[in-house]
Amino acid sequence: MTESDSVATAIVGSNALDPYLVTKSMILAHLVSWTLFGMLSVQVYVYYVLSPQDSWRFKGAVGLTYCLELTQLFLATYHSFHVLAIGFGNPLVLENSEEFWFHLSVLRGIVSTVYQTFCAWHVYSLIRWQWLLLVISSLSITQLCLSIWDSVTLLRFSRPTHSQVFPAGLCWLLSASLCNIIIACSLTYSHRLLSANKPATIVTRLVGKTTENGINVTIFSILELILFIAKGESFWYSIVLTATSKLYSNTLLAILNSRVHITGGRLSDLHTRDTSYMFSQRAQFSTHISQPQHGEMTPEISKVYPTGREIIS
């Protein structure tokens, strides 16, 4: 046995990190991350084409989110290349926290805050509860601060163990999951209230889609919390952690792009006369499909300007 092999064996035996489990979870996490980033890129392009007159707030949120995800993907790819290629066979590289503290904690916390703040505004526009807006916003800012605390904890120790980062990581993931649960429950209540007051319309379909996306994000955030507590030493939670970051961004774009409605499709039986849903301050877009004489489908985009009426009177 060579000297390097003996050192590697001693490191692996003294620490709880299993190189095989860590590298497996790292590869799967980056495969999921690249896949979801491709979906996000398509959604950003669709938003760019169909929503040129949106408010600068929505454009800024989309641009900020995409830049953060691109930065996170670049840093995560560099880290995986350094571990799996440059430092292949060296267990010391797996424990170096100087390369993943920023993209794994800080950037994830910022993206979560953008998504949760948008959902807080969305919920407030539906039911007009100021206290709920304050609760969701406060929890969102809290989880951002806790993500910074988690990154500081990673930097504090050169080779941190799971027990050293467990308190900060637990508080961070717990606050993020609690915020997502409140958002999902609020959206579900809003959808039921809207469905009870109005028949099946485009508005109820949009709110229903938003509710489904919020529930999916909540399920993933709870799953990463469970994996962090139960299987933290194996780093399996990093797969869900990376996926949830991209799910935040994809859900945000899916909500904005869901304003596009195709008439003549499978949902054409919905009543389209209700256009009072003020999703943006400028305009909404509705895609109409007309059928010429030769049977070719020709899409036409028309703008539907909000009337300013509230969704629930």
**Is the residue at 12 inside a domain?**
no
Q: What is the pLDDT of residue 198?
A: 61
What is the model's pLDDT at position 194? 76
Residues 204 and 96 in one domain: yes
Q: Name the residue with higher pLDDT: 82 or 124.
A: 124
Predicted pLDDT of residue 265: 54
Are 229 and 289 part of one and the same domain? Answer: no
Asked if residue 80 and residue 34 are part of one domain, the reply reads: yes
Q: What is the pLDDT of residue 266?
A: 56
What mean pLDDT do residues 43-60 have? 90
Provide mean pLDDT across the span 49-58.
87
Check whether residue 146 and residue 269 sit in a common domain: no
Do 238 and 296 fall into the same domain?
no
Where residue 36 sits, what CATH number does that domain have? 1.20.1070
Residue 186, CA atoms < 13 Å, CB-side half-sphere: 24
Summarize pLDDT for 11-34 with one digit per residue, the tens: 444 444 567 777 777 888 888 889
The predicted structure's pLDDT at residue 137: 94
209 and 97 both lie in a single domain: yes
How many domains is the chain partitioned into structurally? 2
Q: Is 309 part of any domain?
A: no
Residues 281 and 202 grouped into a single domain = no
Count CB atoms within 10 A of the CB of residue 158. 11
Beta strand 284-290 pairing with 298-304: antiparallel
The reported pLDDT for the residue numbered 77 is: 86
Strands 298-304 and 262-263: unpaired
Please, what is the average pLDDT of the chain?
75
DSSP lists the bridge partners of residue 303 as 285
Same domain, 155 and 283: no
Query: Is 268 found in the same domain as 202?
Result: no
- Is 100 found in the same domain as 242? yes
How confident is the model over 62-92, as pLDDT tens digits?
999 999 999 999 988 887 887 777 767 666 6
Residue 121 lies in a domain: yes
In a domain? residue 1: no
Same domain, yes or no, for 197 and 284? no
The predicted pLDDT at position 133 comes to: 92
User: Can you give the pLDDT at residue 54?
Assistant: 87
The pLDDT of residue 3 is above 80: no
- Does 227 reside within a domain? yes
Q: What percent of the chain has pLDDT over 90?
A: 27
**Residue 134, pLDDT above cutoff 70:** yes
Question: Residues 179, 294: one domain?
Answer: no
Higher per-residue pLDDT: 280 or 175: 175
Provide mean pLDDT across the span 38-53.
Answer: 91
313 within a domain of the structure (yes/no): no
The confidence score (pLDDT) of residue 288 equals 41
Minimum mean pLDDT among 101-105, 237-241, 264-268: which range?
Answer: 264-268
CB 159 within 8 A of CB 186: no
Dump pLDDT digits (tens) for 157-212: 766 677 778 888 899 999 999 999 999 999 888 888 877 766 556 667 777 778 88
Range of the domain at 289: 263-304
- Whether the predicted pLDDT of 93 surpasses 90: no
Does residue 312 lie within any of the structural domains? no
